[in-house]
Amino acid sequence: MTTVRSVAIVALVVTAASLAGCGMLGGGGGGGGDGGDGGAQGSIDAPREVTEPMDPSASEVYSRVTEIMGVEAEAPTVRVTNLPTSRNVSSPFVTAMVGLPDDPQRLTNPINATYDPEENSVLFNDETVFDLNGSQTEYQLAYNIALGIHYQNDWVDDETVEGAVPRGTVQAVMREYTDEHMDTDYVDAYDSAGAAFESTTPYQWATYEALNYYGAEYVDSQIDSASDIPSLYEDGVPETTEQLLHDADEGPADLSVTTNVSNWWIDERMPRLEATLGELGTRAALRSQLSASEAAAAADGWGNDTGMAFSSARNESAGAVWVHSWDSASEADEFVNATQAYADARADGTYAVNVTRPAEDTTVVVAHRGTFVQNTDITYTDGTVEVVVGGGSS
């Protein structure tokens, strides 16, 4: 059972009802990990009498964030609790489609704290909290106050918080906060997509860094300052990354995909039974083997997609299936040609990649190892793609 304890925090807590913050949108969204040497230097510690309150105080950080955003919100409480020390950002689907990074350490992100929207609380990790200096604490405090304001205003929920736009708006707040109040650079700002891609691994780019970059780029194109964020959400934000990339209103096309999986195979999509990666996710995965222009051209014309992954319960066989609907047959042609080039470049002895065309506007990409292909039937009937793995359930 997770235990939670309210604490007085040296260099942070001013009163028992102190504010707090520092959760992350999935994968590096929090930034400020190195924290720099600016700001008051202190650490969160076990419960004890507060003798040296943080400068700025938690209340001041809260006031700064709400002033930057031009909103009012209920102040979150802060507590220290037993949290996992890291988050595994890998997924079987991306592993199959992109391939693992050379350094396995790049598959995990530290969890110094997280925001709990149900309790409006910021929870610091009792295992890592002692390692934070004052500037790191202040950064993560401000970050999670901003994230909490997003929740309180119903701009995000647990299903949408990982999207590109929330990543971009939280980053916009933190850029202004660090520019105005901290002596440390904002580490997640890049001059171009190419620079952002080169700073990370293809795996991280496909998982979350592309969302970070293009989310920030979109938000910057729509607002003059973080105080415009409320009106941005009120006016409506893109529902797909196609809309985000092209500033368009076209919604996703109809796409029907069904699955039937035997008990000898594990459906790796839980808890979400399907995943739409969108035009940006398609572009980001192809970018692992193709140039930026080639990947962007191949993903252009995206209509809809569904990705899924499976692994054998008996051996190392595994596979991922990625179904796309395209705006036209010519767009599907371009994707097939690019994916074949991607598959040739991806021939690394781990996963093989095949692409088929069950209909003129529909493509199916399969990345596989072991006996996955031999145990999988993919059919197309009356507009529906059916994926049967291991003969299906009995």
The confidence band for 20, taking pLDDT boundaries of 50, 70 and 90, is very low
Instruction: For residue range 275-311, list pLDDT tens digits in order.
Output: 899 999 999 999 999 999 999 999 999 999 999 999 9
Instruction: For residue range 132-174, list pLDDT tens digits in order.
Output: 888 888 888 889 999 999 999 999 998 898 899 999 999 999 9
Q: What is the mean pLDDT of residues 184-211?
A: 87
- Name the least confident of 15-19, 77-81, 197-201, 211-215: 15-19
Contacts of 189 (CB under 8 A, 6+ apart): 175, 216
Asked if 140 and 112 touch (Cβ cutoff 8 Å), the reply is: yes
Q: How far apart are CA 216 and CA 280, in angstroms?
A: 14
Range with top average pLDDT, 15-19, 34-38, 51-55, 330-334: 330-334
**3-class secondary structure, 94:** helix
Instruction: For residue range 22-50, list pLDDT tens digits in order.
Output: 344 544 334 443 433 333 333 333 333 32
CB hemisphere CA count around 46 (13 angstroms): 1
Can you give the length of the chain in residues?
394
Compute the mean pLDDT over every residue in the chain, rounded to the nearest whole number. Answer: 84
Q: How far apart are CA 229 and CA 168, in angstroms?
A: 10
Residue 204 pLDDT: 92
Residue 272 pLDDT: 55
pLDDT at 315 exceeding the cut of 90: yes
Residue labelled with tokens 């001013």: 14
Question: Which of the two residues, 35 and 129, has the higher pLDDT score?
Answer: 129
